[in-house]
Amino acid sequence: MRELTYTQALSEALSEEMARDETVFLIGEDIGAFGGGFGITKGFVERFGERRVRQTPVSESAIIGTAVGAAMTGLRPVAEIMYVDFITTAMDQVVNQAAKLRYMSGGQVTMPLVIRTQGGGGTAEAAQHSQSLEAWFVHVPGLKVVMPATPYDAKGLLKTAIRDDHPVMFLEHKLLYAETQTVPEGEWLIPFGEADIKREGDDVTVVATSLMVHKTMEAVESLSGEISVEVIDPRTLVPLDIEAILKSVEKTGRLLVVQEACIRAGMGAEIVREVVEKAFDYLDAPPKVLGSLNIPMPYTPPLEKVVTPQKEDIIEAVREMVG
């Protein structure tokens, strides 16, 4: 089978879904001739035309507002917000409109809307271009939240998201775009709510998301022969495969959650809450969350590394839990 980059996997998923279903269209800044800020829609306007590749002014509220209205009429928009940080200017459209209209209409209105955006640090773009805001969307009833860590998951989950009748926040990481992986051809999808067991182990369970999956796997490799670590990538935060996490904690007795988002009130805290409520008797040690410091992201790369979890931090946290 062929290998694709994360970017190519996303592009292929969009292309296949647009070819399969004429109600699918793209909307966002610079997605036309330029191909989007990260080149994912390069060549799309030539193939599908300007009617289905709608380039917009620099207005996130207009992008999401237009997409919400289109979804209400039966179309399937995929809206691109260049950086997740910019979603702040469209939070009314996301939180008060997209997330609630199906419920408030008694099911008369569906909302098949995907909002693609990317976040995270690692590129020295400072505090307004480096945030991890998934917890905001997890907190909002009515939104599904997806965080693929690999090209395989990016393609399969994006196709599932486009076919879903509910609004989906599809959160990518800028440092993952160049990642390569074997990705099958043909028709296949990855269901929401099914975690991926990246590595089996007996001593401690590590739940990691997005880029932190890769950093965790590097850390676990360094711990090989010393500590047996089970690594779980939830893939989707809403719905969350809590059963897979509980089953793992029952086996290992220890839980570490690794996230890039600021540690305060993040997804890690939610996972720990569910495990403590449902599997407290299985725990042999207090569960722990490893995340970024509760400060705005610094500009310089050395400080950025200090703020966000690194391989060495994960190794230290695992050793502390087991030791």
Domain assignment present for residue 187? The answer is no
Q: Show Cβ contacts of residue 320 under 8 Å, excluding neighbours closer than 6 positions.
A: 288
What confidence score (pLDDT) does residue 101 get? 97
Q: What is the CATH number of the domain that holds 81?
A: 3.40.50.970
Q: Which of 129, 166, 173, 214 is catalytic?
A: 129
| C-alpha closest to that of 123 among 313, 284, 260, 265 | 260
Q: What's the CATH code of the domain at 216?
A: 3.40.50.920
Considering the domain architecture, whether residues 211 and 145 belong to the same structural domain is answered as no
Question: What's the rounded Cα separation, in Å, for the pair 284 and 254?
Answer: 6
25 and 49 fall within a common domain = yes
Whole-number pLDDT of residue 37: 87
Query: For residue range 161-183, what is the model confidence (pLDDT) as tens digits?
Result: 999 999 999 999 999 999 999 99
- Give the per-residue pLDDT at 35: 87
Specify whether 114 is located in the same domain as 88.
yes
- Mean pLDDT, consecutive 10-residue stretches, the chain (323 aa), reads 94 97 97 90 95 96 98 97 97 98 95 98 96 98 98 98 98 97 92 98 98 98 96 98 98 98 97 98 97 97 97 98 91
Q: Chain centroid to CA 28: how far?
A: 19
- For 114, the token pair is 């995907």
Considering 160, 182, 204, which residue would you say is the last residue of a domain?
182
The answer to whether residues 103 and 214 belong to one domain is no
* Assigned token pair, 87: 């979603």
Instruction: Give me the pLDDT at residue 1, please.
Output: 76
Rg (C-alpha) for the chain, rounded Å, is 20
Domain, as residue range, for 247:
196-322
Enter the DSSP assignment of 29: T
Catalytic residue check, 129: yes
- Domain assignment present for 191: no
50 and 85 in a single domain? The answer is yes
Q: Supply the pLDDT for residue 276.
A: 98
Tokens 């989707």 appear where?
Answer: 236
Residues 204 and 162 in one domain: no
DSSP-assigned letters across all residues of 47-88: HH-TTTEEE--S-HHHHHHHHHHHHHTT-EEEEEESSGGGGG
**Total length of the chain:** 323
pLDDT at 186: 83
Total number of domains constituting the chain = 2
Q: Is position 311 within any domain? A: yes
